[in-house]
Amino acid sequence: MEAVMNNVTIEKAKTSKIKDVDFDNLSFGSIYTDHMLVCDYKNGQWQAPKVVPYQPITLDPSSKIFHYGQSIFEGMKAYKDESGSVWLFRPLENFKRLNKSAKRMAMPELPESYFMDGLTTLLQVDSDWIPQSAGSSLYIRPFMFASGNGFHASPADEYKFIIALAPSGSYFSGKVKVLIEKQYSRAANGGVGFAKTGGNYAGQFYPTRLAAEKGYQQVIWTDDNNHEYIEEAGAMNVFVRINDMLLTAPTNDRILDGITRKSILDIAKDEGIKTEIRKVSVKEVVEAAKNGSLKEMFGAGTAAVVSPISAFGYEGVDYDLPELEDSYASLLKKRITDIQYNRAEDKFGWRHEVV
């Protein structure tokens, strides 16, 4: 059965898996909906995107994705409000970042209409899968990878762009304890840290596992020169509150330019919270922890939303953060999720209705 919507061809799945899903007990990103969007790049151009049944991908063993790491992705969410309307949060920012990542990884940039029309069509087809229970949402995973063949270390001539959907619960359970890293690094100056590319994540797994063995859920990465400055965490940007000032590192070619991060900065300003975008040294954070001026730390990201940090480890010492009544983290989390779920006015124009 084929249909066309927004110029996107739709091939419907014969049966739905939705009745097997326990929407009250969702983990993060481990169940996928009935359909996916597929768009192939060959002969120098993108073919029209299609919604097809969620299905396996078949590749030659020489496909460059297996050898040379040309892969990029995005992470987004779809939110369903009380009336059943479906919303995206700043989707064009994800689209633009995808293409920035594509360029750095020598992959072809995608046309905006393929991304937006493909995504909204897919969401309409699988809209029953968008959870409405608190804390749950539909995680959206657009990704692109090298499907062309060959052992020569050079860019592939074919690529696949896919969007898959996963109804998901929260990324972290509870508060997060982090380790400020002194030995390993996430990104090089002049490297690919700002791109959302597979290799940036694979490189973090081993140090993160070492940290997990000591009881930390995430690593806070520092610059690779001297490990002096705080950069970001595994899957989120990091904010530090010293007294009443909210600090976060400037983005650069080592740090992912998080959409949650910049939204939080705008909301904080709107709330009259003093913010500063500047290098944050590990030394000043440790000193602030010691003298009591360190009030909060939290991570910000699409998957993690706003995740309060309960403690950080550094050079073998753990520093606990205080429990605050009126934390910036809870205020900012409420404001951003109220916009995302269409529970509050959208003065920034960030919401995008899926119709």
Residue ranges that bind ligand PLP, judged by CB under 6 A: 75, 232, 235-237, 256, 258-261, 301-303
In the numeric block, which tokens belong to residue 93? 């920012």
The residue within the footprint of a second copy, chosen from 10, 51, 105, 249 (CB under 8 A), is 105
Report the 10 Å Cβ neighbour count for 108.
19
Task: Give the C-alpha distances (Å, rounded to integers) separating 8 from 2, 77, 117, 122, 196.
Answer: 10, 21, 7, 9, 26
Question: Which one, 163 or 236, has the nearer CB to ligand PLP?
Answer: 236
Question: Which one, 41 or 68, has the nearer CB to ligand PLP?
Answer: 68
Q: What is the DSSP string of 279-344?
A: --BHHHHHHHHHHT-EEEEEEEETTTEEEEEEEEEETTEEEEPP--SS-HHHHHHHHHHHHHTT-S
Residue 111 interacts with which of a second copy, ligand PLP, none, CB < 5 to 8 Å by class: none
Residues numbered 28-67 forming contacts with a second copy, rule: CB under 8 A: 28-30, 32, 36, 54-63, 65-67
Nearest of 277, 260, 275 to residue 350 by alpha carbon: 260
Residues numbered 167-186 forming contacts with a second copy, rule: CB under 8 A: 168, 171, 181, 183-186
Question: Which one, 12 or 141, has the nearer CB to ligand PLP?
Answer: 141
Question: Which one, 13 or 235, has the nearer CB to ligand PLP?
Answer: 235
Question: Which one, 120 or 307, has the nearer CB to ligand PLP?
Answer: 307
Q: Which amino acid is located at 148 in the chain? A: G
Q: Is 40 helix (H, G, I), strand (E, B) or coil?
A: strand
Q: Nearest approach, Cβ of 238 to ligand PLP (angstroms)?
A: 9
In the numeric block, which tokens belong to residue 283? 């030394």
Does the footprint of a second copy cover residue 70 (CB under 8 A)?
yes
Residue 232 interacts with which of ligand PLP, a second copy, none, CB < 5 to 8 Å by class: ligand PLP
